[in-house]
Structure 1
Amino acid sequence: MTQPPQPPNEPPQGGFGAPQDPPPGGFGAPTPPPSDGFSKQPPAAPPAAPPTPPAGGYGSPPPPPAGGYGAPQPPPGGYGTPQTPPGQPPQNPAYGYPQAPPPGQPGYGFPQGPPPGQPGMPPQQGYGYPTAPMQPQYLAPQPGGNGGKKFSTQMQIIVAAVVAVVLIVGGGVIYASSSGDDGGKKDEASSAGTNGGEGKGGEGSGLGGGSEKAPADIKSKVGFQLPQPKVTDTTTVTGSWLTDKAFVKTGVYEIAGYDPAKGTKLWSIPLPGQLCAASRHMSKDFKTAIVFEEGKPTKADKYPSCNQVGALDLNTGKLMWSKSVTSSSSGDEPIRFSEVTLSGTTVAAGGTSGGAAFNLATGAELWRPKTDTNGCYDKGYGGGEALAVVRKCGTYDAPQLTIQALNPATGAPLSSYNMPAGVEYASIVSTKPLVVAADVGDTAGDGSGISDFFSINAATGKLIVRISADADKYAGRCGSTEVETCQSLAVGGNKLYVPTEEHEGGGEYGDTNEIVAFDLATGKLVGGKADAGDRYTLTPLRMDGTNVIAYKEPPYDKGGQIVSIDGSTFKETVLMENPSDEAVRDAETGFSGYYAEYIYDKGRLFISEKMISEPRESTLDDKQYLVVSFTTG
């Protein structure tokens, strides 16, 4: 599970950086698209992301669709073997199907691909926002990381072929050119995550096979595009949601609603400071929660504190309420929050200096986590259909993480599960069923934050099964410091859907991958898999009833696709195929998986950035987009 380049280290005081004042006028009106939907200028390059480490609640994306290294020749052996609790027979599923590999043979490990989203970011992605559409919301850059997007086998071959064709002119001057390609979930309502936002039809939705149907014509056209606002520093713009009236996106010192079809601005909510975090979940009447800075940077205070919690009405464009709360352990100092989530009518915000929960409609404080002499605190919360927390106790050298299911109204623990020793960080993939991801003993080795998944009984706190997820075989990504930023994962029908790492396909060149599923009761790989097809890469965005909505990152000469995957048979139905025109294709693939949010709903796809920065001098003439949308309508 390879990690993409990460955003710069967070500044002191928990701030997200020191964004500069935007140019007068903020976003301004969206640019009307030319006849082909895009300018014929060179494709916009994604903003550079300094090393370091998740819509964000941001889908949420999930490792985004992107090209990976060429895969090694597969040795015989099983695809992956989930671990089981003591007393259960070991499970040895083969590649995509439960079978035991020959003794001594290692599983086929695929090298992993880059993040989707800002794409690149991605994904993120799974239960929760695509920063590749991928979360719908999922979502947001996570801390930690070991480099940028990998140079795919496909690209290596293409570049090699082009460079090999040289023209020797006159006294031996060689001219050569190169070319290449750049590169889920349940909730009360549709929102964004890697992988975009939460999607309609999660666990218990009663939608059965899902509500998304293929249109008469799957060929899409460009809906609208919004140019990136000008900034002078790296600025977070995590947060995108889709309601029945508006597509809503975080900008610079504002959150704005746009007509989903035309892209015209409907309303704008000004913020006193820059947004720090946004819930990937929405209520059924399209309300959500955010955290933002107390003010704009000044010479005296370059990094304003992220201590303001607020609730938004996404249909009317109103900031319903906002407030700060003081910490019981730090006198009058307001609590600094690093993430926020929503479950029912409860807004829960957390951070290293404390946490608190509020009523969504009124802002009334509901509860705060209890403090004790062991230095315990709530690291962060996972929302959606239920509420869960990752609670950290112990010392820096010997931390103890506990996963608790909570009563949203009172904060009282309903159950507790102690994570094994060696776990410093844990992420909540889903709250119903309760699924947690962790990098046990830092064994993943790729910055993805995932070596194992834990399926937990939320009623009793007992471990149902622990699933080993070899980072060389499976893709997906979770943040280390944030609890609800997993991408490129989806949970539904008591199954966990995970993309494999990219590997060589069956064609002459080009990488591909699959989506497989683990049974959350047994930890076994269920029979079957969804194939991306040669030169495409599949990333789960969200659940749609018992189906999986996924994004197919395209090869260099095609447009991307949205597909619905039957959760039992893995049969794929194409819902959308984007244009393959060069200008449109460049705009679509200009987003980087893990750093982008993908939202798909009823024939409309929205891809947006999670983070923007000052353009590099070499890209000043390139067209860079905050949002690009496609529609089959």
Structure 2
Amino acid sequence: MTGNGVPGPFPPAGGPQQQPQQGFGYQQQYGGGQQPPPPAAHAPYPGQAPHPGQAPYGGQAPHPGQAPYAAPAPAPAKKGKAGLVILLVVALLVLGGAGVGGWFLLNGSSADEAVLWSQPGYKGKMPPGESVKQVEGTWTTDKAVIQTMPDGVKAYDLATGNRLWATRIPGDSNTTCSAPRQSEGGVGIVAYGDNKACNHLVAYDLDTGKQLWTKEIKNKPNSKPKPGDSFTPGDTNPDDIKDNYLARSGGVVVTQGTAGAQAFKVSDGSPAWTPERSAKCDGASYTGGKALIRVRACHTKPVLGKPYDEVSLIDPDTGKAKWTHTFRPEGEDGLDAGMAIGGRVISTDPVVLYPEREDMGIIALDSETGKIRSRFAPRTPAKYVQTWGPEGTPWMEAAAFGKTFVMSVSEAQEANLLVAYDLDSGKLLWKTKPDKSKDFHPLVDTDGGKVLVYERLNSSDKGPELAEYNAATGARKTLAEYPTTVAHGLDLFARPTVRKNTLFLSAIADRTFNPNEAYGLIALKMSAPE
């Protein structure tokens, strides 16, 4: 990092390099950890459009002189006499050189204490023609939280936020384009390319940052990018060489692009298995996660056969189907079976599908047999059921908590709500009132089956909250409140990740009210301070 807390260039590709005592692009040696001065308040930033349905607001951001290991940014001073007194006391202490004592007094509110540490947003070079680079891929280990950046990966200590290592992707002109959230075996996989084709994979040891292997993805030999082409994460046009999205499950990663699906071993990048081909079935799409699900369009005969769709649970080690569920067309046209064209896999464990045909509704399959477990009723819980995540991964807007399946959905006019279904019966258990001021993010991989949800409030006066919902009734209680600076300093699509009772929010772009003073990563407590 640079001396002002802005991430600088990565060390050369191939692994982390020893950091010098001083110099551009590197953090200071570990151990110091002085906290930065309090950030200054800002008025609403000009030229920045708010989130749909969100009123413009002002906020605080990290101070330009922030130390490399960014400490929690304090919340804005509370309005009224009490806030004025605190501001006067802090000003006197800072001017008088009180240092740590001043920070002790400033961090007196529960919201401030809920912030453990933060890192500033990405300030590196953007690909040609792009002002915003959206990159998925945030992983955790027992010791670190690791972020995928446009030009590499960086790891930070879970407890302190100190940078542990940073490794650039191969090639000075290359940029990342996709990174699945799964990291089994302590290995992270990133797809990257040169802005004309996203056609390489690289694997990293998440404990050390060491580059383990690289692999070129062979696209169609006769396909050439058009002048000026650049890849776009999440783009799924099958005729464009720029597309390669990833599905990862267990020890296998499956790439899906213009060359069709290809499976590689996470351990060394060698081919894992050849995706099954059939004269009756067209190219398949894969979705990873805790399980690997394949969807493909088929016909009873190669020529003039009746159409049907297959959904299969695939063994990641062999590529063979453990079971297959068949969807056949219904209705007058008798052409659309509902899944292969426009259908989506919301979750792979449990298996929850969202067919393209509205009359089918949302369907849960039994993970052991592939038979229909339930059909959700009502068929769709709101006007909009959609994801902002990339192809090949389970939806980030949905999570299973025991037998309760929770989703964030939207009504008209950007009114968001949370809905919960019983996976066995398909019954709608409860739903919250549509709310234009909230974004809901159900948290996956939480212990005890508790329905935990990170709620981003589109407000200038109130920060985000961590809430727990009763799985059966939807009764809500607040577990933690966070400063308004958490929302103001993060892009609107920041992703939550949970590890060791800590909530990490990772920015995947710089869509904040001031990209020059944004958080890239922030660690939050998951319960209110004692």
TM-score category, normalised to shorter length: 0.5 to 0.7
Shift of 1:597: 1.3
Residue in 1 that maps onto 2:296? 391
Matches of 1:335 and 1:356, distance apart in 2? 15
Residue in 2 that maps onto 1:497? 406
Matches of 2:505 and 2:155, distance apart in 1? 15
Matches of 1:402 and 1:479, distance apart in 2? 25
Q: In the alignment, does 2:142 pair up with 1:244?
A: yes
- Letter paired with 1:624: A
Summarize the Cα distance change of 1:411–1:625 in structure 2 as closer, same or farther, 3 Å threshold.
same
Residue in 2 that maps onto 1:433? 350
Q: 2:424 aligns with which of 521, 524, 538?
A: 521
Structural mapping, 1:165-176, within 5 Å: none
* Bigger relative contact order, structure 1 or 2 (CA pairs below 8 A, ≥6 apart): 1
Summarize the Cα distance change of 1:624–1:513 in structure 2 as closer, same or farther, 3 Å threshold.
closer
Deviation digits for residues 459-500 of structure 1, max 9, x if unmatched?
443333333667673665236982425232112323321235
Q: Does the aligned pair in 1 maintain the 2:410–2:434 contact within 8 Å?
A: no
Matches of 1:245 and 1:391, distance apart in 2? 40
Residue in 2 that maps onto 1:275? 176
Shift of 1:551: 0.8
Q: In the alignment, does 2:528 pair up with 1:630?
A: no
Q: Does the aligned pair in 1 maintain the 2:292–2:348 contact within 8 Å?
A: yes
Q: In the alignment, does 2:464 pair up with 1:557?
A: no
Matches of 1:481 and 1:261, distance apart in 2? 29
Q: In the alignment, does 2:158 pair up with 1:260?
A: yes
SS in 2 for 1:258: strand
Summarize the Cα distance change of 1:480–1:601 in structure 2 as closer, same or farther, 3 Å threshold.
closer
Deviation digits for residues 544-602 of structure 1, max 9, x if unmatched?
2311221122233111111233434545453321124xx55522xx421xx32112334
Structural mapping, 1:89-128, within 5 Å: none
Q: 2:288 aligns with which of 382, 388, 409?
A: 382
- Letter paired with 1:418: T
- Letter paired with 2:408: P
Summarize the Cα distance change of 1:240–1:438 in structure 2 as closer, same or farther, 3 Å threshold.
same
Q: 1:482 aligns with which of 374, 380, 391?
A: 391
Matches of 2:296 and 2:160, distance apart in 1? 44
Summarize the Cα distance change of 1:463–1:255 in structure 2 as closer, same or farther, 3 Å threshold.
same
Residue in 2 that maps onto 1:220? 114
- Letter paired with 1:436: L
Residue in 1 that maps onto 2:311? 403
Summarize the Cα distance change of 1:355–1:482 in structure 2 as closer, same or farther, 3 Å threshold.
same
Residue in 1 that maps onto 2:255? 349
Q: Does the aligned pair in 2 maintain the 1:229–1:626 contact within 8 Å?
A: no
- Letter paired with 1:310: V
SS in 2 for 1:377: coil
Q: 1:34 aligns with which of 28, 33, 36?
A: 36
Summarize the Cα distance change of 1:478–1:400 in structure 2 as closer, same or farther, 3 Å threshold.
farther
Shift of 1:29: 4.8
Deviation digits for residues 267-323 of structure 1, max 9, x if unmatched?
11211222221111121x432322222xx3xxxxxx332222233221221222221
Residue in 1 that maps onto 2:205? 313
Shift of 1:343: 2.1
Q: Does the aligned pair in 1 maintain the 2:120–2:517 contact within 8 Å?
A: no
Number of residue-to-residue matches in the alignment: 417
Of structures 1 and 2, the larger Rg is shown by 2
SS in 2 for 1:598: strand
Q: In the alignment, does 2:193 pair up with 1:288?
A: no
Residue in 2 that maps onto 1:542? 444
- Letter paired with 2:182: H
User: Unaligned stretches of 5+ in structure 1?
Assistant: 1-21, 49-147, 156-177, 183-215, 297-302, 444-450, 505-510
Shift of 1:609: 2.3
- Letter paired with 2:466: I
Matches of 1:540 and 1:223, distance apart in 2? 22
SS in 2 for 1:151: coil
Shift of 1:256: 0.9
Summarize the Cα distance change of 1:391–1:181 in structure 2 as closer, same or farther, 3 Å threshold.
farther
Q: Does the aligned pair in 1 maintain the 2:441–2:453 contact within 8 Å?
A: yes
Matches of 1:389 and 1:491, distance apart in 2? 20
- Letter paired with 1:290: V
Matches of 2:390 and 2:506, distance apart in 1? 23
TM-score for the superposition, normalised by structure 1: 0.56
Structural mapping, 1:8-19, within 5 Å: none
